[in-house]
């Protein structure tokens, strides 16, 4: 091997080592989720972050759950006081304009989420369960600040096709709600696009998130 070729080899090896050093911690899609899980310290905070890396304690039950009026929910549904009042205003104002926005799923206990997740695991395996459901403690529904809605087409799964979706996109933030799992942000939120899932964060924060086209993770700079 000539001295020239040897030098080239050394440079290539050095380059590879440097490249490996700087890229070894970059998480690939999916790999950062459910790793290095931290327990949430401030579960009552209205802008609390619960996701695949931040977990609520098994015994956490929100302190001020109130039942949503049956005018705006499919049956007995509970949310925290501020979120519940804001949702009722949203749903009522929408109704005045001819829209029908109804809560189908709101507060869910740790135990309920555990059953739901296990049901998906038993039905189609863990990968499938992770693709459509949160593991217990990792669901925002346990905060009492999240709501799944359905529109006049009566199917939350098809909410995107309902007339109400466009209205929600433009108005939910005025009541303190954000579309929590937007399309194209799956690598940040860890959840697939869910046009039906909204999260109460209060009007001020919702406005900032809406105007910047952020997720809650981006707002919190995590
Ligand atoms: Zn949901």
CATH of the domain at 138: 3.30.1380.10
Is residue 65 one of the residues assigned to a domain?
A: yes
Query: Which tokens in the block code for residue 24?
Result: 């070894």
What average pLDDT does this structure show over 134-162?
97
Residue at 104 is within a domain: yes
2 C-alpha to center of ligand 1: Å?
Answer: 65
Ligand 1 centroid from CA 212, angstroms: 22
CA of 93 to the centre of ligand 1 (A): 22
* Confidence at residue 28, expressed as pLDDT on a 0 to 100 scale: 47
Show the domain range for 148.
29-219
Per-residue confidence band for 172, with pLDDT thresholds at 50, 70 and 90:
very high
For the chain, what percent of residues have pLDDT higher than 90?
85
194 is catalytic: yes
Q: How confident is the model at residue 31 (pLDDT cuts 50, 70, 90)?
A: low
Of 146, 183, 180, 152, nearest to 165 by C-alpha is: 152
11 found inside a domain: no
The pLDDT tens digits of the residues spanning 119-130 come to 999 999 999 999
In a domain, 152, yes or no: yes
pTM, two decimal places:
0.86
| 13 CA to centre of ligand 1 in angstroms | 49
- What separation in Å is there between the alpha carbon of 159 and the centre of ligand 1? 12
Who contacts 39 (Cβ-Cβ below 8 Å, separation ≥6)? 54, 55, 56, 57
Catalytic residue among 92, 186, 194, 211: 194
- The answer to the question of residue 2 being in a domain is no
Q: Domain for residue 5, yes or no? A: no
Q: Categorize the per-residue pLDDT at 8 as very low, low, confident or very high, splitting at 50, 70 and 90.
A: confident
Please indicate, yes or no, if residue 23 is contained in any of the structural domains.
no
- Cβ-in-10-Å burial (0-12, 13-18, 19+) of 176 comes to buried
* Structural domains counted in the chain: 1
6 is a domain residue:
no
pLDDT at residue 212 greater than cutoff 50: yes
Q: What is the pLDDT of residue 121?
A: 97
């Amino acid at each position: 091997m000539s001295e020239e070729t040897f030098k080239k080899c050394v440079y290539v090896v050095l380059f590879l080592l440097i490249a490996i050093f700087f890229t070894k911690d970059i998480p690939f899609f999916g790999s950062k989720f459910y790793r290095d899980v931290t327990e949430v310290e401030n579960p009552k905070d209205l802008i609390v972050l619960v996701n695949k890396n931040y977990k609520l304690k098994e015994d956490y039950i929100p302190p001020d759950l109130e039942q949503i009026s049956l005018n705006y929910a499919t049956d007995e549904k509970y949310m925290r006081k501020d979120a519940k009042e804001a949702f009722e205003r949203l749903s009522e104002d929408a109704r005045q304009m001819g829209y029908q926005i109804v809560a189908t799923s709101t507060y869910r206990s740790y135990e309920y989420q555990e059953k739901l997740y296990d049901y998906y695991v038993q039905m189609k395996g863990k990968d499938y369960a992770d693709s459509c459901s949160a593991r217990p403690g990792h669901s925002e529904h346990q905060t009492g600040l999240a709501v799944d809605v359905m529109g006049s087409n009566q199917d939350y799964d098809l909410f995107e096709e309902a007339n109400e979706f466009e209205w929600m996109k433009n108005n939910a933030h005025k009541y303190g709600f954000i579309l929590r799992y937007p399309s194209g942000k799956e690598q940040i939120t860890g959840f697939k696009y869910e046009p039906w899932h909204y999260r109460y964060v209060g009007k001020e924060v919702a406005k900032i998130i809406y105007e910047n086209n952020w997720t809650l993770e981006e707002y919190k700079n995590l």
